Chain A
Amino acid sequence: MANVYFMQAMHQALAAAMEEDETVVVLGEDVDRGVFGVTRGLIDRFGPNRIRKTPISEATFVGGAVGAAAAGLRPFAHVMFSSFFYVAMDQIANQAARLRYMSGGQVELPIVYFAGTGPSGSAAAQHSENPHSILMHTAGLKVVMPSTPYDAKGLMTAAIRDPNPVIYLADLRLSRLRAAVPAEPYEIPLGSADIKRVGEDVTVVALASLVPPVLEAAAELEEEGVSVEVIDPRSLVPFDWEMVAASVRRTGRLVVADPARRLCGAAGEIIAGVSERVWDSLLARPRRLTWPDVPVPFSPPLEKELDVGAEDVKQAVRDVLDESSRRIPAARGAARGSA
């Protein structure tokens, strides 16, 4: 087990997949150098026939991946910043996400659409999107968003082997994360969440770069006698409703932390899905921690204003506990020993 950075973990999985399956090809701008490092150096190993540097033509290489997949390749399309999905949105939403359905199941489209995502430090409104909820809503696209190097590698292997278009979003705020991962390829099945910390009183579902601050908050809350369970869904489509619902059934309380806008966002969807499943276990209204409904601003203090931090998480956890202690029957509250 060697220590690798977040993006290196994805690189390892991609390189291994290219080794194992010669139909895996890489398409994208500057993919020989690879701005985030995920494709860097692959051209030396696999050559320019499989590592295809494209012109700046997102609509065409994103859509090209659809045709290439329909005709026998497994394209890994490097979209660079996730904001650039919007440049190619017809090819994503009308083509990649539709062909199999419209053809009555004739077509398989084993494509990975990879992009770095989220604010990365004053990259401003056209380089800082987290577009996962728009892509989740599209139907026909799987969407993954890992939070650790280990998960990143396992999800990448699974994404490349999956017979469907998978949107793979690598949160740029996690670039400096480093951890030990197995050298050999391994798969983390799409749709399996992971409990990042076991707890009893409150379930906090956290996505991508919000996993670390939520874990930090959970550790601090432990000192206040509050036990927080932290779940990282890892994959948003498909979603591991079973694991999240089971956790909320135990804790009775849910907070969702999503580094994205609120309106029609993943946080709202997760809360709705859990509420539908285990509404009778809920002891308080679920809370969501998100950005406000604004584009990402440039100026550092403004960008920071959007952030969800450990303090916000602690406050939300205290709020749900507070509300539930006012509402649960005294006997149960005492038995649980919480708040």
Chain B
Amino acid sequence: MLSDALLHLYRLMMRIRVFEEKVQELHKLGRLPGFVHVYLGEEAVAVGACSVLRRTDHITSTHRGHGHCIAKGADVAPMMAELFGKADGYCKGKGGSMHIIDTSLGILGANGIVGGGIPMAAGAGLADTVLGRDGVTVCFFGDGAANQGVLLEALNLSAIWKLPVVYLCESNHYMEFTPTADLTAGRIYRRAEPFGIPGVEVDGNDVLEVRRAAAEAVDRARRGEGPTLIEAVTYRFAGHSEGEEAFVSAYRTEEEVESWKARDPVTCFRERLLAELPDRASELDDIDDAEQASVEAAVRFAEAAPFPPPGQALEHVFAEAGA
């Protein structure tokens, strides 16, 4: 891979990192309404996967969607404004953290319903197939979502119709406050096998490994050979949702969290770049500074933006025919 491309992967991971840390800080200050689920620790999954997508390709996302959106090219300023519920947000304040959508970037939406995006991804793949496009859809979903029946239905449908969809499970070991392994039979990636499609497991904390697996799956999909199921094994550093300490006692050990932090996808990749591209070390610092500054600017943008006028509550229920 070209070193510029490597640096770009780093930039996007760092963008997610500083965005989410800022979100945590704002949430603690009581500045963000509603539920907020951050993607800290899982940055390599979204960035690795989206790095092999075109702008016109689609993704479906989850309640933990900020990272997917940033990786697919979303602008942090309207994202932040959306989290504040402001009129200049991606969804004009109608959706919030769990519902960021930018159709111009192929982002078919974060989703408040666990598993809700899975059938949609199959449908986006169907559209590409019917219209003769060589587009691909990446369907992000959690390890908890893997137990929704729609996953098996979508895998089957995608297999029989050879839909160009990559099902990408983010195995972060938890579903809310419960270890996924306690309530999940077998391994998720092996659920591909009975459908006769590839099922692979990757280190979700290694952006290049995710990228490699995604590239293979995306190429296969573009060639019309059908879907792939990828299970990216990773970990969320933060709680399930911000502020959860108020109503749940600890459900993970310090040691467990620390052991994963030792494999931090962002800092590990940074160290690797420093080792492999020593002459570009200062550029990494520049990236860190630039991303920090752009997130600060996003917060200023969000703060300055107006709230939507109350009457907007009544708009956007239906599209106007012919409009």
Q: How far is the CB of B30 from chain A (nearest CB, A)?
A: 12
Q: How far is the CA of A143 from the CA of B95 in the complex (A)?
A: 29
Q: Which of A37, A124, A306 contacts B112 (CB 8 A)?
A: A124
Q: How far is the CA of A89 from the CA of B141 in the complex (A)?
A: 22
Known contacts being A60-B149, A121-B33, is A301 close to B183, with CB within 8 Å? no
Q: Which of A56, A58, A306 contacts B175 (CB 8 A)?
A: A56
Contact with A along B76-107 (1 / 0, CB 8 A): 00000000011000010111101100000000
Interface size on B, residues (CB 8 A): 42
Q: How many A-B residue pairs have CB under 8 A?
A: 120
Q: Is B145 an interface residue (CB 8 A)?
A: yes
B308 adjacent to A301 (CB under 8 Å):
yes
Within 8 A of B (CB), among A23-47: 29-30, 32-33, 35, 37
B148 adjacent to A56 (CB under 8 Å):
yes
Known contacts being A57-B149, A298-B96, is A304 close to B310, with CB within 8 Å? yes
Q: Is B200 an interface residue (CB 8 A)?
A: no
Residues of A within 8 A of B60 (CB): none
Chief secondary structure at chain B's binding surface: loop
Known contacts being A55-B184, A122-B33, is A298 close to B112, with CB within 8 Å? no
A299 adjacent to B144 (CB under 8 Å):
no
B114 adjacent to A300 (CB under 8 Å):
no
Residues of B within 8 A of A133 (CB): none
A126 adjacent to B313 (CB under 8 Å):
no
Residues of A within 8 A of B308 (CB): 299, 301-302
Known contacts being A55-B147, A59-B149, A292-B314, is A125 close to B95, with CB within 8 Å? yes
Within 8 A of B (CB), among A267-305: 292-295, 297-305
A294 adjacent to B99 (CB under 8 Å):
no
Contact with A along B21-46 (1 / 0, CB 8 A): 00000000000011100000000000
B147 adjacent to A306 (CB under 8 Å):
no
Q: How far is the CA of A298 from the CA of B95 in the complex (A)?
A: 5
Q: Is A157 an interface residue (CB 8 A)?
A: no
Q: How far is the CA of A304 from the CA of B147 in the complex (A)?
A: 35
Residues of A within 8 A of B67 (CB): none
Q: How far is the CB of A277 from chain B (nearest CB, A)?
A: 34
Contact with B along A69-101 (1 / 0, CB 8 A): 000000000000001100100000000000000
Q: Is B137 an interface residue (CB 8 A)?
A: no
Residues of B within 8 A of A57 (CB): 147-149
Q: How far is the CB of A102 from chain B (nearest CB, A)?
A: 23
Q: How far is the CA of A154 from the CA of B93 in the complex (A)?
A: 40
Q: Please classify how large the interface on chain A is, using the bins under 10, 10 to 19, 20 to 34, 35 or more.
A: 35 or more
Besides A298-B93, A302-B310, 17 more A-B contacts (Cβ < 8 Å) are A33-B251, A35-B247, A54-B183, A87-B148, A122-B33, A124-B95, A126-B113, A292-B313, A299-B86, A299-B93, A299-B94, A299-B96, A300-B307, A301-B307, A302-B308, A303-B313, A305-B310
Pairs across A and B, CB under 8 Å, 29 listed = A32-B178, A33-B177, A33-B248, A33-B249, A35-B176, A53-B183, A54-B183, A55-B147, A56-B145, A56-B148, A58-B148, A87-B115, A121-B34, A122-B96, A124-B95, A125-B94, A126-B116, A292-B313, A297-B93, A297-B313, A298-B91, A298-B95, A298-B96, A299-B86, A299-B94, A299-B308, A302-B93, A305-B313, A305-B314
- Residues of A that sit less than 8 Å from B by CB: 29-30, 32-33, 35, 37, 53-60, 83-84, 87, 121-127, 292-295, 297-306
